[in-house]
Structure 1
Amino acid sequence: MMQVSSSAAAVEVPHYFLCPISLEVMRDPVTLSTGITYDRASIERWLFSDGHDTCPVTRRTLAPDEREATPNHTLRRLTQAWCAAHQVERFPTPRPPLDSCRISALVDEGRHGGNGKEAAALREIKAIVAESDRNRRCVKATPGAVDFLVSVVSKHSTSSKSSQFADQDDFLEVLDSPTSTSSPAEDALSVLYSLKPSERSLDQILERNDDFLDTLVSVLRRPSYRSRTYGILLLKAMTAVMASSRLTTVSADLVQEVVRVVSDRVSSKAVRAALHVLCRLCPWGRNRVKAVEAGAVAALVELLLDEGGRRVTELAVVAIDHLCGCAEGRSDLVAHPAGLAVVSKKAMRVSLATTESAVRALHAVARHSPTPAVMQEMLSVGVVAKLLLVLQVDAGERARVRAKEMLKAHARVWKDSPCLQAHLKAFYPC
């Protein structure tokens, strides 16, 4: 039995008051269909946050409709009575669980009550979602809730005002500090992000709102860093489920705003999301050219020069690899004073995937843009030395094949050059 300290003495807690997961007294006991009782916070964390689909005690698999537990009022009353009898501080009575009727009422109020009611409904929904995972699931499952949030984003992000600071309200919205008042669009975006919509839900948003990608472009143009972060995170989720036919037709404006998130360093989370979006978009249609025209190569090179985290580096090199698939991308990489040097530097330093992408990007340059100036730069900034190193270590078979192909193709320029260190010439492939 567990011991609990009271004003009188340490007392032993009966085992049936203890949650099988936390081994602490259950504040809000709930019972699963298997007949086992748990504390609500512990079992909901097990099922929904940790992603399990079994009863922890019986290990029986639970169907989706069996994962909502039933409050055990009898056990809660017994626990309260025991606490009173042993002079142990009683747990407060838990509030009744949120139901979809309350959310539906808020959505209706927000839709039909004017701007003031809309803002109030949004704030309450935001507070409800932040309170618990259960509330988040309830909001997500309420018919019309996601559509309401999307409509608010669309309504307030595509303003037709001629000036960004047309009135005092607009000015207040750009004061991006913790004490500033969030705009309705920002509140709706934050709730949408926290709901983590399913693939089906994201598909439905795109199907029902043909211009929603244009709405996200407007969001990414806003001066608020929070709005831009929520916008790019939502765009990342959407591009992950979009069909290739839709990815091929994204606008140049959208690609430009994604690149701006990277170049502006909106936030570490936003930059990672933007890199994911670039890597998703670039293989399709003319998106490579759109990204290059938006300044993607320079933004990515500067990001790599700042020695970002492992995942940022990996994604940035993959994006450069994609961009080197077009002549414009290769030209921009060669034109940047640090382009070739920083790409070769990242090979062998992060992961096999990064090495492969870096070597593939360099291979594209060496194959399609082998001007004397480029060949000499690859030699002087250490690209050739790095390619020789790739041959000597376990850098992945595809990277080794491409490195060897480059070294052989340009042996006449590189092999006997005085710029190549003497000890490296012994490793040069024949």
Structure 2
Amino acid sequence: MAVSLSVDAVWVMLCAILVIFMQAGFVLLETGSTRMKNAGHVAGKQLLSFSVAALAFWAVGYGFTFGEGNTWIGLEGFFLKLPTDPKSIPLEVSFLFQLSFVAVSLAIAWGGFAERAKLSVYVIFGALYTVLIYPAVGHWVWGAGWLHELGKQDFAGSTVVHLQGAVAAFVATVMLGPRIGKFNKNGTPNLLPGHNQVYTVLGVLIIWLGWFGFNPGSTLTAKDGFFGFVALTTNLAAAAGSLTALVTVRVMTGKADVTMMLNGVLAALVAITASCAFVEPWAAVVIGGVAGSLAVFAAYSFERKGIDDPIYACSVHGVAGIWGTLSTGIFASPRLVEKVGIGGPGLLYGGGLKQLGVQALGVTAALLYVAVVSFVILWVMKKAIGLRVTEEEEVMGLDLSEHGAYGYPEQLQPPKGAIGEPLADTGTES
């Protein structure tokens, strides 16, 4: 293996590790954003879902996504049975890097299930998401798919990773319904605060760090140092999203809500993920700043419409994912488009509506496909095994009802009686 190819392989492997480590960030973010009685469950299912995704993507998902086939789906490469290309990074490294993206997308989807779904649902839906949902759109955009042929620009996955996860989360939260106590009879929402804001801040910082594997790693090479430019646009967008979200929520509520600031960071990172290699630094600031504000508006809007999304997956990854995907059709710079070699320049550079139209088509196709397939899978599961724990189990907390022990046993004492026995209604909830 040539020295340059060896360096590329090490670079991509390092980025795969960074993106996989984002799972630790999601553990802290999601655990901190939910209630203490569900902390162990929320943290543990993150490890469970990564394990399920790893096996399913190795067996089938990678082949469907990147194997030779047609413009709709790959038809070979199952169990990584693909010919070795001596001019490319090792297949095993490529698989681990792409697996890290699938795992992030699945982690996003779990936001719609939080604090009320059965543990078995995570296993079954996680496997089917990795096999049937993610690979199709992945192949359309990153394989030899029809959206790739049209020139859709999605450098690291605003559509493929984030929008897909958000749409699945939206379908799940609608089908499951809101958590007990989230809404009053007149539809007004109640605050169900997460139990540890320090966890959420640390989780977002870890995710922000992991994004330096996510976007720069998608160059798939260390040659010419272009990954540094991608890292720069990524970081500028995140910083802008943090500040605009904080200003927006302060204007709307009179308080500098830390949660919304964190949402602004994540939304900006989601938005710049599609365009990080296509736009100039000034445009990255604009894209990230707009995403930060959009995340705040969207979060309150979804809540007013009766959507209970504890992790804000729909606003942070869905709305921002749509904006980020469309943004390349507006801001894509001709010099960068030429360098990357995908699509055309954006509207502001005289490219007209062509690229923007391709981006909008990609968003629409992905949204419809993921929504329909997620609904069908969850509908069948609902009829067959049920999606939601019982009311008694939800009030008790999933730590105890699903796992038999609280994540914080010193702070939360189990109800009287053996596990599985009827519980007295205390009228309170942790």
TM-score range for the pair, normalised by the shorter chain length: under 0.3
Give the TM-score taking structure 2 as reference length. 0.19
Q: Looking at both structures, which has the greater relative contact order when contacts are Cα pairs under 8 Å and sequence separation is at least 6?
A: 2
Larger Rg: 1
Q: Per residue, is there more helix in 1 or in 2? A: 2
Give the TM-score taking structure 1 as reference length. 0.19
